[in-house]
DNA sequence: CTTAAAAGACCGACGGGTCGGTCTCCTTCA
DNA sequence: TGAAGGAGACCGACCCGTCGGTCTTTTAAG
């Protein structure tokens, strides 16, 4: 692995653990086993490194979270797969993001403080939310979601649930509690389907509508 | 306002905006209009200040978020009121927390980095989650929630939704989008009630069960 | 031998924290 | 009653370490 790649990769990990502001260049130098000269030979400044790392992080995010989605036709199954990927392939990815979701870390440390950096990070959030919204809309059109489901509110639930889950995963670093919170979102999504779609809703009692 | 109170109050605000690690004592000195001597006359260290500010933040949180709950008998109405308080009285409280939820900020900057500080913050999360769980359990026992509702999953949804909402509020600082995400949680909560409880579900089409 | 990569000495700014000192106000005793 | 004394709030110069960043020197590959 070339030095430049070592620097970006170690920065990715350190930023996800400590954030950008609290990671010093000496931290990065040590992790990448290099020196000031080695670092500044490849990057003009810490901020230049940030922008490059952000782009890399976004591309890894896409590769992890959107994995296998294009092989799925059903929009609601796509959302489900996205949540599973988010849980298993992205948040649990210790190799790239040992400190949890790097975008959440960035957004918390940059708001009120570094609006120019914040903006770049926020774009990713907007994109994810729009994607969720579009998938749910399309799922509703196809009859995969009940007709009275409000897709705006469902998007809010899933989106804020994803962000909240990753914050809480950072707090306790417990795989089982991450599974619980993402699985709650998946069950919620399943619950939006029409009753004749429900095959594995796994609620306490099954299908109370029939009982009425 | 005495100097010590000015210091704690300004620290509260600065910590909520910039976090603990990225707030310097000079920032605090400037905001509280004092000097090194003035600061260290009241606090032994920056960390000692942190613990005091944390306790104050928690007591303000309780006062804001639990306001009026003891006058309510119904557990599910308590959860609803809590969410409204969280939205209107806590997150929008610019006087004390101009940077949004201080606990989220702390938890993101401390995980992987300052476990001893993290622990104190995490206790608050545990307490809130347990409170939500207990209220939903009790609501279910009283028949305010449908019998097939899984209170564990419902707790996950509301809890992670609250955390996610406050992160996203920090990102865009928009009252309307905060309202949207918290209102989605409230609507979700309403949706857990038995059908004969539903009076203002305000979904797109009303009460599809009747139609069947 | 050339040249790009990497090393590390060095710089000024700023971090948390210390310390000698001043100023104000309250106590105390003639 | 009023001057002496003492306590503690507050000030700011200073300490040492670390920050991001620069620059010259050394290394090593072609």
Residues 140-169 of B with CB under 8 A from A: 146-150, 152-154, 156-157, 159-165, 167-168
- pLDDT value, residue A110: 92
- pLDDT value, residue B88: 97
Q: What is the mean pLDDT of each run of 10 residues along chain A (212 residues)?
A: 92 95 95 93 94 96 97 97 98 96 95 88 96 97 95 98 97 95 97 72 38 28
Give residues lining strand D (CB < 7 Å): A 23-27, 36-37, 40, 44-47; B 2-4, 34-38, 40-42
Kind and range of the H or E run holding B57: helix B46-65
Q: Which of A153, A154, A180, A156 is nearest to A168 (CA)?
A: A180
**pLDDT for residue B143 is more than 50:** yes
Indicate the Cα dihedral angle B60, B64, B66, B68, nearest 10°: 130
pLDDT in tens, B145-202: 999 999 999 999 999 999 999 999 999 899 999 999 999 999 999 999 998 654 444 4
Q: Which of B21, B111, B123, B211 best tests the A interface by mutation, with the highest count of A CBs <10 A?
A: B111
Chain D: positions less than 7 Å from a protein CB are: 8-14, 18-24
Q: Which of A163, A182, A207 best tests the B interface by mutation, with the highest count of B CBs <10 A?
A: A163
**pLDDT for residue B203 is more than 90:** no
Query: How far B141 CA sits from the closest chain A CA (Å)?
Result: 14
- CA of B38 and C1' of D13: distance in angstroms? 15
The percentage of residues in chain B with a pLDDT greater than 90, rounded to a whole number, is: 86
The 8 Å CB, 24+ separation contacts for A178-184 are A178/A87, A178/A91, A178/A92, A179/A87, A180/B152, A180/B156, A181/B156, A181/B159, A181/B160, A182/A83, A182/A84, A182/A86, A182/A87, A183/B153, A184/B152, A184/B153, A184/B154, A184/B156, A184/B157, A184/B160
Q: Which of A98, A120, A171 best tests the B interface by mutation, with the highest count of B CBs <10 A?
A: A171
pLDDT in tens, B24-60: 999 999 999 999 999 999 999 999 999 999 999 999 9
- CA of B58 and C1' of C26: distance in angstroms? 36
User: Residue A99 is nearest to which of B107, B111, B187, comparing CB atoms?
Assistant: B111
The per-residue pLDDT of chain B, averaged, comes to: 91
pTM of the model: 0.91
Whole-angstrom distance, CA of residue A96 vs CA of residue A11: 10
Q: B7 pLDDT band (50/70/90 cuts)?
A: very high
- pLDDT value, residue B212: 26
Give residues lining strand C (CB < 7 Å): A 2-4, 34-38, 40-42; B 23-27, 36-37, 40, 44-47
Query: Chain B: residue nearest A125 by CA?
Result: B168
pLDDT in tens, B63-75: 999 999 999 999 9
Q: How many CB atoms lie within 10 A of CB A68?
A: 12
Chain C: positions less than 7 Å from a protein CB are: 5-10, 14-21
User: Residue A184 is nearest to which of B18, B19, B156, comparing CB atoms?
Assistant: B156
């Amino acid at each position: 692995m070339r030095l430049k790649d070592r620097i970006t990769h170690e920065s990715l990990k350190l930023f996800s653990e400590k954030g950008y502001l609290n990671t010093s260049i000496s931290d990065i130098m040590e992790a990448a086993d290099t020196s000031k000269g080695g670092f500044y030979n490849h990057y003009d400044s810490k901020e230049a490194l940030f922008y490059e790392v952000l782009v890399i992080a976004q591309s890894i995010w896409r590769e992890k979270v959107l994995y296998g989605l294009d092989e799925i036709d059903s929009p609601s199954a796509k959302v489900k797969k996205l949540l599973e990927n988010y849980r298993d392939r992205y948040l649990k990815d210790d190799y790239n993001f040992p400190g949890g979701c790097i975008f959440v870390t960035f957004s918390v440390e940059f708001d009120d403080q570094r609006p120019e950096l914040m903006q770049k990070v926020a774009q990713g959030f907007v994109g994810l939310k729009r994607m969720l919204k579009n998938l749910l809309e399309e799922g509703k059109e196809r009859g995969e979601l009940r007709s009275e489901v409000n897709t705006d509110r469902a998007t809010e639930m899933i989106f804020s649930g994803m962000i909240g889950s990753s914050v809480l995963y950072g707090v306790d670093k417990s795989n089982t509690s991450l599974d619980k919170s993402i699985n709650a979102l998946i069950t919620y999504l399943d619950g939006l389907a029409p009753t004749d779609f429900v095959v594995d809703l796994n609620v306490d009692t099954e299908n109370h509508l029939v009982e009425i």
